[in-house]
A = this chain, B = another copy of it.
Amino acid sequence: MGRNTLGTLEQAVMMVILALGDGAYGVAIRDELSRRTRREHTLGAVYTTLDRLSAKELLESYLGEPTPTRGGRAKRYFKLTGEGRQALDHAVNTRHELEFGLDLAGKGV
């Protein structure tokens, strides 16, 4: 089964991780996702997606140092694996293939 197809949120999260570069950890990902998406996302939703993508080895993570800010717990940073990057590229290509020739919404939100 497990056709290696990515869901909407999965793709979105992966893109946000790329956009954040280093510094892509749970809360930051959630915030940037909400910003780009113009709607709120809960942390639970984000972490679940992060875990699933990690399980599929499309993401890898490593723990950072705790920051000296109040409550600053060690953050878990995420980045795409080679396989993840490939899967995302594939999804993007498929998307282009689908949009080809269509008169869709312009770039202006």
Which positions in A face B, CB cutoff 8 Å?
5-8, 11-12, 15-16, 18-19, 36-38, 88-90, 92-105, 107, 109
Residue of B8, B38, B96, B103 near A97 (CB, 8 A) is B38
- Chain B residues whose C-beta falls within 8 Å of the C-beta of A90 in the assembled complex: 105
Residue of B15, B94, B98, B107 near A98 (CB, 8 A) is B15
Q: How far is the CA of A37 from the CA of B103 in the complex (A)?
A: 18
Assess A19 versus B94: contact at CB under 8 Å? Given A7-B7, A7-B8, A8-B7.
no
The contact sample of 29 A-B pairs, CB cut-off 8 A, is A5-B8, A7-B7, A7-B8, A8-B8, A8-B11, A11-B98, A12-B98, A15-B102, A15-B104, A16-B98, A18-B102, A18-B104, A19-B102, A36-B98, A36-B100, A37-B94, A37-B98, A38-B97, A88-B104, A88-B105, A89-B104, A90-B105, A92-B99, A93-B105, A93-B107, A93-B109, A96-B107, A96-B109, A97-B109
